[in-house]
Amino acid sequence: MNRFERIRRTVGWTLATAALIAAGACSTVDTTPAPRLRATDTVVVLPLANYTETPDAGSAAQSMAANALRKLGIATVDSMPASPGGDPFDATSQPDRDKALGWARSHHARYALSGAVEEWRYKVGVDGEPVVGMTFELRDVESGKVVWSGTGNRGGWSRSSLGGVAQSLIGKLLSPLAARG
């Protein structure tokens, strides 16, 4: 085998390996332009709707989102507790928007993060890869208007944990909300 042939094979194997790695942990994220959040802004994370078959996926995602916002430099992040006795599978058991925004106002929040978990499971099959799909909306508490939104999904390797895939997706989705100033 000549030198050119070895280089061609090496490049071929490198490209094939890169394609497999990229395909194994795929993610898609779409967001709108983010407002300029300050570290001193207070953000509340409202209970997230759970459109999955996994109980309490919304609660788990809510906790991860609150932590991600703190990591992004938001100093004061509060989480609205879920309604007691709510069905962990029922997306309609979430608080209505006016009640949730009222709770956010009572906590002197500037912004309220709401959203939904659309997918939170391990795929069926031999490998059982974890997959997560979510949507977030950031509302100005005073006006109630949506000032930012994002949606995304992510799949992991068969040895990845569902929580790790979710944490990665939430961090990537919320990254445009990093405090600036």
The per-residue pLDDT for range 106-125, each reduced to its tens digit, is 999 999 999 999 999 998 87
In this structure, is residue 14 part of a structural domain?
Answer: no
pLDDT at 171: 97
In this structure, is residue 16 part of a structural domain?
Answer: no
Q: How far apart are CA 95 and CA 134, in angstroms?
A: 18
In this structure, is residue 20 part of a structural domain?
Answer: no
In this structure, is residue 67 part of a structural domain?
Answer: yes
Give pLDDT tens digits for 3-37. 767 777 776 666 555 544 444 467 899 999 999 99
If one counts every other C-beta atom within 10 angstroms of the C-beta of residue 75, the result is 13
In this structure, is residue 79 part of a structural domain?
Answer: yes
Structural domain range at position 147? 26-177
Q: Which residues contact 99 (CB under 8 A, 6 or more apart)?
A: none
Q: How far apart are CA 23 and CA 41, in angstroms?
A: 38
In this structure, is residue 4 part of a structural domain?
Answer: no
In this structure, is residue 106 part of a structural domain?
Answer: yes
Backbone region of residue 94 per phi and psi (left: phi > 0; alpha: psi in -120 to 50; beta: other values): beta
Q: Which helix (H) or strand (E) holds 178?
A: none
In this structure, is residue 11 part of a structural domain?
Answer: no
Give pLDDT tens digits for 157-176. 888 899 999 999 999 999 99
Output the domain CATH number for residue 139.
3.40.50.10610
- Would the pTM count as exceeding 0.75? yes
> How many structural domains are present in the chain?
1
Q: Which residues contact 147 (CB under 8 A, 6 or more apart)?
A: 35, 111, 138, 139, 140
More confident residue, 95 or 133: 133
If one counts every other C-beta atom within 10 angstroms of the C-beta of residue 41, the result is 19
Dihedral angle over CA of 42, 84, 93, 27, nearest 10:
50
pLDDT at 20: 46
Q: How far apart are CA 30 and CA 14, in angstroms?
A: 29
156 contacts 16 by C-beta, under 8 angstroms: no
